[in-house]
Amino acid sequence: MLKLPWVFVVTFSLLLAGCGLQASKDFSATPTPKLCMYLAENNEFWPYHDSLNAELNRRGEDCAEYIKDEMRRTEINNSTTVKVNNN
């Protein structure tokens, strides 16, 4: 009977410790466009968000140019789709 509370305490402690650890990942070999894609696809609660931002800051880069390129591609794709549908 004494075994059940002990297992609960150990399990709960491990879960709690896991939540308190800061996740990090090395993005040094990841190209900037891919980092920007990760940033766009994941919110600020993503475990590697801080590591990703730190790598972009270390490089002195942001995702502004990548976002502009994506917006241009989206506009081109949308305008092509409209032309095809109108014909």
Residue 20 pLDDT exceeds 70:
no
- Please report which confidence band the pLDDT of residue 25 belongs to, taking 50, 70 and 90 as the band edges: confident
Query: How confident is the model at residue 16, as a pLDDT?
Result: 60
Please give the residue that has the higher pLDDT: either 13 or 68. Answer: 68
Task: Confirm if 27 and 52 have CB atoms less than 8 A apart.
Answer: yes
In Å, the largest CA–CA distance within the chain is: 77
pTM to 2 decimals? 0.56
CA distances from 14 to 1, 6, 25, 30 (A): 21, 12, 21, 32
Tell me what pLDDT residue 84 has: 53
Asked if residues 35 and 27 have their Cβ atoms less than 8 Å apart, the reply is yes
